[in-house]
């Protein structure tokens, strides 16, 4: 799985506080293959929360994994909290990296598929709608997004 | 060199498309969730975002999702008063009406579906 391999590569460059044990990354990779109703270990949530605290410049694969895994009911129930919303707000600011903004909106869209995420989406709608109005023309962000995307590839 | 620029152009276009679809999907899912809770009192706030997005988006799937969201917001409102307020707001938005008219008049190959035109016509029928 491409993005898990990318996470391994980026993980090696993190400081000790933000580093994830390889077994945890492997567990995350396995969880992504689960059916939506399957139980997930609590460690997955801890792993995701650590990954989501990585620097913005390397967050692209983390956000991509998160927006996919949040489609699983149990992950959705445990991850969609006020803590996640603080992370979402950070990456929707007008000066946030455009690639992270794009994936954060994808995460927000996927959150609605289960009740907990839907509740968080509804509770946060005023702030999110305002960030959309504050979003400058998508065309201005393109170069930044392109460079980040190509770098990740 | 030419191949590089062509590839770079397609990457840029792809990312812009993905961004537009991400935003439109969020808007659509939010509207569906609001309707489930019978909470369209916040419809005006969502409408303002739709009015801002519609003229700026050029990715057809993104536009389609916004139109579906708009139609859902207007037709599924739980109170007649609220529904009429939202319809009035759309009628008064010259930008929105202009975009809807343009999309509704788009012609395509015979016998092919033009979901943007069909959706726009339905919304125009709702508001006029």
Going by pLDDT thresholds of 50, 70 and 90, the confidence category of residue B32 is very high
Please indicate if any CB of chain B lies within 8 Å of the CB of A121.
Answer: yes
Cα dihedral across residues B73, A126, A65, A35: positive or negative: negative
Most confident segment among A35-49, B51-65, B74-88: B51-65
Cα(B22)–Cα(A138) distance, rounded to whole angstroms? Answer: 12
Which has more confidence, A6 or A2?
A6
Q: What is the mean pLDDT of residues A42-48?
A: 90
Chain B positions touching A98 (Cβ under 8 A) are 19
Confidence of residue A144 (pLDDT cuts 50, 70, 90): very low
| A58 pLDDT more than 90 | yes
Query: Which residue among B12, B23, B36 sits closest to A142, beta carbon to beta carbon?
Result: B12
Q: Which of these ranges, A35-39, B36-40, B84-88, has the smallest mean pLDDT? A: A35-39
Which of A106, A112, A125 shows the shortest C-beta gap to B42? A125
Higher local confidence (pLDDT), B5 or B39? B39
What confidence tier does B39 reach under pLDDT thresholds 50, 70, 90?
confident
A49 has pLDDT over 90: yes
Q: Among all residues of chain B, which has the CA nearest to that of A115?
A: B33
Q: Min CA distance, B114 vs chain A (Å)?
A: 25
Average pLDDT over residues A128-151: 58
Q: What is the ipTM of this complex?
A: 0.86
Determine the Cα–Cα distance for residues B112 and B99; give it in Å rounded to an integer.
21
Residue B105's pLDDT is what? 87
Confidence of residue A40 (pLDDT cuts 50, 70, 90): confident
Q: Taking a C-beta distance cutoff of 8 angstroms, is the pair A99, A64 a contact?
A: no
A 70-99: CB under 8 A from B: 98-99
User: CA of B117 to nearest chain A CA: how many angstroms apart?
Assistant: 24
Tokens of A104: 């954060």
Residues of B in contact with A133 (CB under 8 A): 48-49, 52
Comparing CB atoms, the residue among B19, B33, B48 nearest residue A138 is B19
The torsion of the CA quartet A144, A60, A82, B46, rounded to 10 degrees, works out to 50
Task: Report chain A's mean pLDDT, rounded to a whole number.
Answer: 85
pLDDT range class, residue B4, cuts 50, 70, 90: low
From the number of C-beta atoms within 10 Å of its C-beta (0-12, 13-18, 19+), residue A23 rates as exposed
Residue A66 has pLDDT above 90, yes or no: yes
Q: What is the pLDDT of residue B100?
A: 94
- What length is written for chain A? 153
* CB–CB contact B19 A146 (8 Å): no
Residues in CB range of A45: below 8 A, 6 or more apart: A75, A78, A79
Q: What is the pTM of this model?
A: 0.87
Q: What pLDDT, on a 0 to 100 scale, did the predictor assign at position B112?
A: 44
Please choose, from the candidates A85, A82, A4, A13, the residue with its C-alpha nearest in 3D space to the C-alpha of residue A47. A4
Q: How confident is the model at residue A146 (pLDDT cuts 50, 70, 90)?
A: very low
Q: Residue A53: its pLDDT value, please? A: 95
Q: How far apart are CA B38 and CA B77, in angstroms?
A: 7
């Amino acid at each position: 799985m491409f993005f898990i391999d990318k996470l391994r590569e980026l993980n090696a460059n993190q400081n000790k506080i933000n580093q994830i044990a390889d077994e945890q990354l492997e567990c995350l990779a396995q969880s992504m293959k689960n059916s939506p109703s399957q139980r997930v270990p609590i460690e997955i949530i801890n792993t995701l929360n650590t990954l989501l605290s990585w620097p913005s410049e390397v967050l692209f694969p983390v956000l991509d994994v998160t927006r996919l895994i949040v489609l699983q009911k149990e992950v959705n129930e445990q991850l969609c909290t006020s803590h996640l919303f603080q992370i979402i707000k950070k990456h929707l600011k007008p000066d946030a990296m455009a690639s992270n903004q794009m994936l954060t909106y994808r995460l927000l869209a996927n959150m609605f598929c289960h009740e907990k995420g839907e509740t968080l989406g509804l509770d946060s709608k005023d702030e999110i709608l305002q960030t959309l109005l504050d979003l400058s023309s998508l065309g201005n962000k393109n170069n930044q997004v392109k460079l980040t995307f190509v770098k990740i590839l | 060199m030419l191949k590089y620029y062509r590839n770079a152009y397609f990457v840029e276009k792809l990312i812009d498309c993905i961004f537009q679809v991400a935003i439109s999907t969020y808007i659509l899912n939010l509207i569906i969730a609001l309707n489930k809770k019978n909470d369209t009192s916040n419809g005006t706030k969502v409408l303002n975002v739709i009015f801002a997005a519609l003229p700026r988006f050029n990715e057809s799937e993104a536009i389609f999702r916004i139109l579906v969201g708009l139609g859902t917001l207007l037709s599924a409102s739980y109170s007649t008063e609220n529904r009429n307020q939202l319809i009035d707001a759309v009628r008064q938005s010259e930008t929105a009406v202009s975009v809807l008219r343009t999309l509704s008049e788009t012609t395509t190959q015979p016998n092919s579906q033009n979901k943007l035109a069909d959706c726009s016509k339905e919304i125009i029928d709702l508001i006029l």
